[in-house]
């Protein structure tokens, strides 16, 4: 099995080193995931397939790589020993075979050979190990005796165990690159992207995903450019290729000419100059020319983004995605850990509100990776329509209560708002209210302080919640429209599916009508309606959202000055008129045409920025 | 330092495969001696199971051994014993194929 591939891989590796130079320049188009332009070498990772991850190391990283390899050997050995202990008292033959496996693991042809290759060739452990195995294979290939030659399968078995250990514990995301690189992969999970927060990463390029994929969201929050949804990029682009990543326009140039590189660097300079102008808006109020105020708040995922929140002048946090706290360690976070994160946020922003969404995992957000693999057994055919988000919280009550206790306790220190995701039924909401009531009683009994008037709101992100918004509005303190999911659920488009991602259209009139309906239902009950999807931070789309009467737009922090500038150049009357007209549109094309006209006559230079 | 050199014939029916190689290394390890084996190429230490295997010592192979160390004399008999051991309780050689070993661990995990 792996034997033949091994040969391929080793050949592939040598070809790779010489290939970059003689390739024709080629431009590929994807979707803009995060703005910015970078020029650099690509490292292609294929964490989702069985292909080997190969990369070169810088000198300083060799020691760490050796340690990583030794650790994997220790773990693989432990695994084999554990296995052996289960056969203890069994056939002595089997035990001897297992002993021979343990011995192979530490055999000099594997261990020393791999270590030498890491050292001398400056390559990662996985790559070195596969080359070591290849050398063993060459020796075994010469064996005439079939029975002994077939023992190579035992060697392979042991090496595969070792490879598994390396990929499990050895962060598939290398940190020891010799120069900063553009990481290319089919897709990244949120946890992956966070692990890669390193000065050695210039940007991200993926095969899957759209504007709202996690790679895109995280890349934006890290301020790194990303292009997503480029078909077959992991095939077309090779490790070591020089590429230009244009996160503004969702373009990738493979093997660019020097002229192209210069041109793109100039684009980048212009974009940066423009952002500088925007910084003037940071300290101004977010209001229209006629004084209509709209809160512009921040969406964040990791607590240390708080710097950006204050830097860009956000009016509080409109959405704190609490999931990250759950993926940082191997075990689930305890109440104290969560509490201290929430407390810090609330104190840092007081008196501005901090809206924290309860655990929203499942669907595309990896319930499967919840520590302890508790939900791994759940093979859902349609995870997006399955046990996710509030449904998971209601099923795993201990998990939910722990988070609610932490939230309520933190509410004593400032203005904290609880946001419940994926509510699709009134009874679901009632169930949550009951649990919150119980937690409040417990806290009171324990004498632990919390804000008894804490605001509780729901995400409106399922079409049924839109339809029932009038009923739901009577039960909560605020609405927050989650357009990312609402668009997916109402247009039946999986934003992570590259074949249909282009049909994911926030400007589809159906979406805009649903937003309008939700705003009206909320206002009729006297509650505020926010919108926290990605579209809130898109200056091209923002006018229609402002015109629909939303009280708050929550977006990535760096988009706030852009939207504020637009808001400060608008009048409420014009925005409302625009929205009225747009609600009559038949499709997204018409919506776009109207927005184009509006922007051309009201905020001229915005058009080109969209 | 004592050095003993001798020739030996592998009589083990399946030759020096995993289990025999493992036994050989383990047995030698019990003595104060290093044992080298010379087949056609350069001598190799009897500590690397993969090098031993790659010698492909089938039944009837003749090889030269060199033992060095305090127990050099005692180790000879031990090595000879392993090389002539009958296959213990093994009706078919393929019973110990790794495929089987790989399947079992899965079954043991809950």
Q: Fill in the DSSP letter of residue A319.
A: E
Residue of chain B whose Cα is closest to the Cα of A97: B19
Q: Flag if B108 and A108 touch (Cβ within 8 Å).
A: no
A5: in domain: no
| Confidence check: pLDDT of A90 > 50 | yes
Confidence of residue A442 (pLDDT cuts 50, 70, 90): very high
Q: Among B13, B16, B20, B22, pick the best mutation site for testing chain A contact (most A Cβ within 10 A).
A: B22
**A180 shares its domain with A302:** no
Count Cβ atoms below 10 Å from residue A182 Cβ, excluding itself. Answer: 27
- Asked if residue A211 lies in contact with residue A188, where contact means CB atoms within 8 angstroms, the answer is no
Question: CB pairs below 8 Å between A and B: how many?
Answer: 92
Q: Among B10, B18, B90, pick the best mutation site for testing chain A contact (most A Cβ within 10 A).
A: B18
Main-chain phi, psi angles of B5, to 5 degrees: -130, 135
* pLDDT in the model for residue A416: 97
Round to whole Å and give the CA distance between A505 and A495. 10
Name the residue ranges covered by the structural domains of chain B: 3-89
| Confidence check: pLDDT of A109 > 50 | yes
Q: Flag if B17 and A153 touch (Cβ within 8 Å).
A: no
**A408 shares its domain with A506:** yes
**A344 shares its domain with A439:** yes
Region A125-152: mean pLDDT is 87
Among A283, A317, A345, give the residue marking a domain's end.
Answer: A283
Q: Flag if B56 and A149 touch (Cβ within 8 Å).
A: yes
Residue A607 annotated as binding site: no
Which of helix, strand or coil describes residue A290?
A: coil
Span between the terminal Cα atoms of chain B, in Å: 53
A9: in domain: no
Residue of chain A whose Cα is closest to the Cα of B46: A107
Lowest pLDDT segment from A145-149, A387-391, A398-402, B95-99:
B95-99
Partner-chain residue, chosen from B22, B89, B97, that has the shortest CB–CB distance to A99:
B22
Partner-chain residue, chosen from B48, B53, B88, that has the shortest CB–CB distance to A151:
B53
Partner-chain residue, chosen from A142, A145, A151, that has the shortest CB–CB distance to B18:
A151
**A121 shares its domain with A207:** no
The alpha-carbon radius of gyration of chain A (Å, integer) is: 27
* pLDDT in the model for residue A384: 82
* Average pLDDT across chain A, whole number: 84
**A131 shares its domain with A71:** yes
Q: Flag if A109 and B26 touch (Cβ within 8 Å).
A: no
Which residues on chain B are in Cβ contact (under 8 Å) with A140? 53-54
Residues of B within an 8 Å Cβ radius of A:
14-19, 21-23, 25-26, 47-51, 53-54, 56-58, 88-90, 93, 95-99, 101-102, 104-105, 108
Q: Fill in the DSSP letter of residue A545.
A: H
Number of domains in chain A: 3
Partner-chain residue, chosen from B50, B90, B105, that has the shortest CB–CB distance to A136:
B50
**A248 shares its domain with A383:** no
A250: in domain: yes
Cα B108 vs. chain centroid, distance in angstroms? 30
Round to whole Å and give the CA distance between A492 and A495. 9
Round to whole Å and give the CA distance between A373 and B68. 53
Region B48-58: mean pLDDT is 87
| Confidence check: pLDDT of A558 > 90 | no
Residue A468 vs residue A609, higher pLDDT: A468
Residue A609 annotated as binding site: no
Give the CATH number of the domain where residue A108 resides: 1.10.274.10
* pLDDT in the model for residue A169: 52
Highest mean pLDDT among A379-393, A412-426, B9-23, B59-73: A412-426
| Confidence check: pLDDT of A6 > 70 | no
A428: in domain: yes
A38: in domain: yes
Among A128, A149, A169, give the residue marking a domain's end.
Answer: A169
| Confidence check: pLDDT of B9 > 60 | yes
Distance from CA of A133 to the nearest CA of B (A): 11
| Confidence check: pLDDT of A369 > 70 | no
Lowest pLDDT segment from A126-130, A302-306, A309-313, A491-495:
A302-306
Highest mean pLDDT among A155-164, A330-339, A434-443: A434-443
The set of residues, in sequence order, having a beta carbon less than 8 Å from that of A516 and lying 6+ positions away, is A548, A549, A579, A583
**A456 shares its domain with A364:** yes
Round to whole Å and give the CA distance between A329 and A392. 20
Q: Flag if A148 and B105 touch (Cβ within 8 Å).
A: no
Round to whole Å and give the CA distance between A259 and A249. 18
| Confidence check: pLDDT of A191 > 90 | no
**A159 shares its domain with A183:** no
* pLDDT in the model for residue A428: 97
The two structure tokens encoding residue A607: 């058009």
Which residues on chain A are in Cβ contact (under 8 Å) with B16? 148
A526: in domain: yes
- Asked if residue A481 lies in contact with residue A532, where contact means CB atoms within 8 angstroms, the answer is yes
**A370 shares its domain with A307:** yes
**A345 shares its domain with A402:** yes
Query: Whose CA is closest to A131, among A118, A148, A150, A149?
Result: A118
Residue of chain B whose Cα is closest to the Cα of A140: B54
Residue A218 vs residue A590, higher pLDDT: A590
Residue of chain A whose Cα is closest to the Cα of B93: A147
| Confidence check: pLDDT of A270 > 60 | yes
* pLDDT in the model for residue A600: 82
Residue of chain B whose Cα is closest to the Cα of A98: B101
The two structure tokens encoding residue A182: 């553009």
| Confidence check: pLDDT of B106 > 60 | no
Partner-chain residue, chosen from B14, B23, B54, that has the shortest CB–CB distance to A140:
B54
- Reported as a single tens digit per residue, the pLDDT across A25-75 is 888 888 888 888 899 888 887 644 455 677 888 888 889 899 999 998 998
- Asked if residue A428 lies in contact with residue A471, where contact means CB atoms within 8 angstroms, the answer is no
Which residues on chain B are in Cβ contact (under 8 Å) with A147? 14-15, 17, 93
- Asked if residue A84 lies in contact with residue A99, where contact means CB atoms within 8 angstroms, the answer is yes
Region A156-168: mean pLDDT is 82
Convert B5-26 to b/e letters by CB count within 10 Å (16 or more is b). eeebebebebbbbbbbbbbbbe
Count Cβ atoms below 10 Å from residue A277 Cβ, excluding itself. Answer: 10
Give the CATH number of the domain where residue A452 resides: 3.20.20.60
Q: Fill in the DSSP letter of residue A557.
A: G
Q: What domain range includes position A355?
A: 285-609
Q: Flag if A100 and B21 touch (Cβ within 8 Å).
A: yes
* pLDDT in the model for residue A153: 82
Confidence of residue A340 (pLDDT cuts 50, 70, 90): very high
Which residues on chain A are in Cβ contact (under 8 Å) with B88? 92-93
Q: Flag if B93 and A147 touch (Cβ within 8 Å).
A: yes
Which residues on chain A are in Cβ contact (under 8 Å) with B97? 150, 153
Residue of chain B whose Cα is closest to the Cα of A142: B54
Give the active site residue among A214, A237, A253, A562. Answer: A214
Q: Is A532 a catalytic residue?
A: yes
A523: in domain: yes
Q: Flag if B22 and A96 touch (Cβ within 8 Å).
A: yes
* pLDDT in the model for residue A482: 96
* pLDDT in the model for residue A188: 75
Which residues on chain B are in Cβ contact (under 8 Å) with A102? none
- Asked if residue A572 lies in contact with residue A592, where contact means CB atoms within 8 angstroms, the answer is no
Give the active site residue among A101, A237, A508, A532. Answer: A532
Indicate the CATH number of B3-89 among 3.30.1340.10, 3.40.50.410, 3.40.30.10, 1.10.10.10: 3.30.1340.10
A4: in domain: no
Q: Flag if B18 and A154 touch (Cβ within 8 Å).
A: yes
Round to whole Å and give the CA distance between A189 and A214. 7
Residue A461 annotated as binding site: yes
Region A468-483: mean pLDDT is 97
Distance from CA of A435 to the nearest CA of B (A): 34
Round to whole Å and give the CA distance between A292 and A456. 25
Q: What distances in angstroms separate CA A304 from CA A104, A309, A409, A471, B30, one per listed residue?
A: 46, 10, 21, 37, 58
Q: What distances in angstroms separate CA A387 from CA A190, A421, A592, B53, one per listed residue?
A: 19, 13, 36, 52
| Confidence check: pLDDT of B104 > 60 | no
Q: Flag if B26 and A99 touch (Cβ within 8 Å).
A: yes
Convert A107-129 to b/e letters by CB count within 10 Å (16 or more is b). bebbbebbbebbeeebbbbbbbb
* pLDDT in the model for residue A318: 97
Residue A495 annotated as binding site: yes
The set of residues, in sequence order, having a beta carbon less than 8 Å from that of A544 and lying 6+ positions away, is A507, A512, A578, A579, A582, A591, A595
Partner-chain residue, chosen from B18, B47, B57, that has the shortest CB–CB distance to A100:
B18
- Reported as a single tens digit per residue, the pLDDT across A70-82 is 998 998 898 888 8
Main-chain phi, psi angles of A443, to 5 degrees: -60, -40
The two structure tokens encoding residue A430: 């009632």
Among A222, A251, A283, give the residue marking a domain's end.
Answer: A283
| Confidence check: pLDDT of A519 > 60 | yes
**A125 shares its domain with A230:** no
* pLDDT in the model for residue B53: 87
Partner-chain residue, chosen from B26, B102, B104, that has the shortest CB–CB distance to A157:
B102
Concatenating the DSSP letter of every residue in A399-434 gives HHHHHHHHHHHHGGGS-EEEEETT---HHHHHHHHH
**A401 shares its domain with A427:** yes
DSSP bridge pairs for A485: none
Residue of chain A whose Cα is closest to the Cα of B58: A145
* pLDDT in the model for residue A380: 73
Q: Is A253 a catalytic residue?
A: no
Is the backbone peptide bond immediately before A549 cis, with ω within 30 degrees of 0? no
pTM: predicted TM-score of the whole model, two decimal places: 0.56
């Amino acid at each position: 099995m792996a034997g033949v591939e091994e040969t391929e891989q080793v050949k592939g590796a040598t070809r790779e080193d010489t290939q970059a130079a003689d390739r024709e320049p080629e431009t590929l188009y994807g979707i803009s995931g995060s703005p910015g332009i970078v020029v650099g070498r690509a490292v292609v990772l294929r964490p989702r397939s069985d292909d080997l991850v190969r990369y070169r190391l810088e000198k300083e990283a060799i020691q760490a790589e050796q340690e990583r390899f030794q650790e994997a050997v220790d773990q693989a050995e432990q695994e084999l020993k554990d296995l052996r202990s289960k056969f203890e008292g069994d056939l002595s033959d089997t035990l001897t075979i297992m002993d021979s496996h343990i011995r192979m693991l530490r055999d000099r042809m594997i261990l020393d050979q791999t270590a030498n290759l890491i050292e001398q060739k400056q390559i990662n452990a996985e790559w070195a190990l596969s080359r070591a195995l290849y050398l063993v294979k060459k020796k075994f290939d010469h064996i005439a005796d079939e029975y002994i030659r077939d023992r190579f399968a035992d060697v392979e078995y042991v090496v595969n165990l070792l490879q598994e250990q390396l990929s499990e514990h050895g962060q598939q995301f290398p940190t020891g690159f010799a120069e900063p690189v553009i990481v290319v992969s089919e897709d990244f999970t949120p946890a992956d992207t966070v692990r890669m927060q390193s000065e050695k990463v210039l940007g991200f390029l993926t095969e899957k995903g759209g504007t709202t994929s996690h790679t895109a969201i995280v890349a934006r929050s890290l301020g790194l450019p990303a292009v997503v949804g480029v078909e077959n990029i992991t095939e077309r682009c090779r490790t070591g290729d020089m590429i230009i990543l244009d996160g503004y326009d969702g373009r990738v140039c493979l093997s660019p000419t020097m002229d192209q590189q210069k041109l793109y660097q100039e684009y980048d300079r212009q974009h940066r100059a423009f952002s500088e102008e925007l910084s003037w808006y940071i300290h101004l109020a977010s209001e229209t020319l006629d004084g209509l105020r709209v809160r512009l708040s921040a969406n964040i995922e990791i607590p240390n983004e708080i710097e950006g929140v204050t830097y860009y002048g956000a009016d509080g946090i409109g959405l704190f995605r609490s999931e990250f706290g759950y993926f940082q360690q191997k075990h689930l976070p305890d109440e104290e850990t969560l509490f201290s994160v929430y407390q810090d946020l609330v104190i840092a922003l007081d008196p501005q509100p901090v809206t924290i969404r309860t655990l929203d995992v499942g669907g595309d957000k990896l319930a499967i990776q919840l520590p302890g693999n508790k939900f791994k057994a759940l093979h859902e055919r349609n995870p997006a329509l399955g046990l996710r988000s509030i449904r998971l919280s209601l099923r795993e009550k201990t998990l939910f209560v722990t988070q609610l206790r932490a939230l309520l306790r933190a509410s004593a220190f400032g203005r904290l708002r609880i946001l419940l995701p994926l509510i699709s039924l009134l009874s679901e909401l009632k169930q949550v209210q009951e649990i919150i009531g119980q937690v409040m009683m417990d806290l009171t009994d324990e004498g632990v302080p919390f804000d008894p008037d804490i605001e509780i709101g729901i995400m409106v992100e399922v079409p049924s919640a839109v339809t029932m918004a009038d009923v739901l509005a009577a039960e909560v303190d605020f609405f927050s429209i989650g357009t990312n999911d609402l668009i997916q659920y109402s247009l039946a488009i999986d934003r992570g599916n590259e074949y249909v991602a282009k049909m994911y259209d926030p400007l589809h009139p159906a979406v805009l009508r649903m937003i309008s309906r939700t705003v009206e239902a909320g206002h009729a009950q006297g509650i505020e309606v926010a919108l926290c999807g990605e579209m809130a931070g898109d200056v091209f789309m923002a006018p229609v959202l402002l015109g629909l009467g939303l009280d708050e737009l929550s977006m990535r922090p760096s988009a706030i000055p852009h939207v504020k500038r637009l808001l400060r150049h608008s009048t409420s009357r014009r925005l409302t008129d625009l929205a009225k007209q747009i609600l009559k549109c038949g499709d997204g094309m018409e919506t776009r045409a109207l927005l184009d006209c509006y922007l051309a006559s009201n905020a001229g230079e915005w058009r080109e920025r969209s | 330092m004592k050095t003993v050199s001798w020739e030996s014939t592998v009589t083990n029916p399946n030759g020096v495969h995993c289990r025999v190689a493992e036994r050989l290394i383990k047995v030698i390890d019990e003595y104060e001696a290093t044992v080298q084996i010379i087949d056609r190429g350069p001598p190799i230490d009897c500590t690397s199971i993969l090098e031993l295997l790659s010698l492909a010592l089938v039944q009837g192979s003749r090889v030269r051994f060199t033992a060095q160390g305090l127990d050099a004399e005692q180790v000879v008999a031990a090595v000879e014993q392993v090389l002539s051991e009958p296959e213990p309780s093994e009706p078919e050689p393929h019973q110990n194929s790794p495929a089987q070993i790989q399947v079992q661990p899965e079954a043991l995990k809950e």
